[in-house]
Amino acid sequence: MADHAMVVSAHPMATAIGVAVLRDGGNAVDAAVAVHWALAVTSPWAGNIGGGGFLVLRQADGRSLALDFRETAPAAATHDMFIGKDGRADPDISELGALSCGVPGSVAGLFALHDSLGRLPMARLIQPAIELARHGCVLSPLEAKDLNGCLRKLRLYSSRPNAFTAKDRWQVGDTLFQPELANTLERIRDLGPDGFYRGETARAIVAEMDRTGGLISAQDLAGYTPVWRPVVKGRYRDTEVISMPPPSSGGVLLLQMLEGMEGMDVRRSGWQTAPTIHRMVEVERRAFADRSVHFGDPCFTEVPVAGLLSDQYIAERLADFDPERATPSTRILAGEPPVEHEQTTHISIVDAEGNAVSCTTTLNGMYGSGVVVGGAGFVLNNEMDDFSAAPGVPNNYGLTGGEANSVAPGKRMLSSMAPTILERNGELFMVLGSPGGSTIPTSVFQVILNVVDHGMGMQQAVNAPRFHHQWLPDTIQAEVGSIAKQDSLRLVHMGHHFKARRPLGRVDAVLVRPDGKLEGGADPRGEDHARGY
């Protein structure tokens, strides 16, 4: 709880750095930039300078903006680059190694954000990350476990020894020193974006690609540009929902699912009861079916956002909804909306002036592609797997796609990230988002329902167990304890299928309470941390 400002992120040290920036007179943008740099050091499994992401900003005067710093396909990428000699998609090359790497967007995105709306000098914001990298971070039990689980990948796909492979096995309490990353961050501090996209660091990236068979060139790096985009907006009950547009599908999916719940008195039907879950699953499966056909990079394909979010279209999609029976996913196809021309981590921040930032950034998989740039000390993403290798072929998250999300040079791959901000009566109400691949929109969806319909506080809403459905496979993936036994049995009788799974997402969120105080919700599924003043 805090009176003035709040930072919620995936690591306690990164959160503390964000709060210190706010206390020093920085705004929410400054804090978000500093936290992102810090997470690249403290949480290299997802925090990054070798990946990309999306950010939604609501300024204190109510204006909202979205920044797309998603990775792009290299110029040498080809439509069928992930199709093997047998004519089938080969996940070994789309998910791991140098061919899976997209052109990183994080550094350019941070500078675009800061140059437009930041207040403190960039050197002030990046220096804490440099010091963390040089002086080391002590590994927690979860960090040691995750790093050990990826050591084989990091050794197999990197061409040079690096900080992560310095030990055969990491122990709790070991210190991870990252001097090469510290040097890279210093070049960025001193030279700006050119310290990454040109010069010594760019040469190191291209050299790593040459050694490991990747496609990213010096021209790809020098030509990368983030994009400011208009946000997508919708209403749910008495709140306005502001989220990320394509090439992220997450914001539109979230708004589709929320609109699909408007016709049900969720508070009356009860939290995670069989009728509530049934309706949520049915709207989820229809939204994800639409994702498989209609979504892609808007610079390459027309995404009918307005049509997908129209009241009439949502009503048509639910016309065959049966409150007593599950609709098999084999009977659900993408709809025909009217066309109108027009391992990830999350940060949620509210500053003392009322500016709010919701930012989700990713390498895609845990430690991304497994490729650590020799001499530069950072992991490259494996975002090329988020393209559709072939129509109907699932990616690492089980998501299928079509031609709209096929590989093309310079194209941004589709995402599920959903950084989101809610207003109530024209005032800031909630800031939230999550990592988790395909489970991101449904995690954000459930937390919003927990607060708006079920009256939970922020931390309670984040803590509450979750479930997920994404059309294909036709299964409700549920955390242990998320659904009572009697409700599970009723749902099975209705035709639903279940699969137990590990924790879903790591939602980081801030709620503005009726008394004006800020309540941070840091997800206990990770080592996330909320702090304010």
Residues marked as catalytic: 344
The 3-state DSSP class for residue 119 equals: coil
Helix (H) / strand (E) element for 238: namely: none
359 closest CA partner among 122, 60, 31:
31
* CA pair distance 277, 283, nearest whole angstrom: 10
- Asked whether 431 and 445 are in contact (CB, 8 A), the reply is no
Neighbouring-strand partners of residue 427: 424
* CA pair distance 402, 249, nearest whole angstrom: 14
* CA 101, 107, 109, 112 torsion-angle sign: negative
- Asked whether 287 and 260 are in contact (CB, 8 A), the reply is yes
Q: Both tokens of residue 98? A: 């140098």
207 closest CA partner among 70, 363, 376:
376
* CA pair distance 275, 263, nearest whole angstrom: 13
Cis, peptide link before residue 141, omega less than 30° from 0: no
Terminal CA-CA length for the chain: 8
* CA pair distance 90, 81, nearest whole angstrom: 9
Cis, peptide link before residue 473, omega less than 30° from 0: yes
Distance set, CA 360 to CA 31, 32, 150, 251 (Å): 14, 11, 22, 12
Helix (H) / strand (E) element for 363: namely: none
Those residues whose C-beta lies under 8 Å from the C-beta of residue 493, and which sit 6 or more positions away, are none
- Asked whether 529 and 15 are in contact (CB, 8 A), the reply is yes
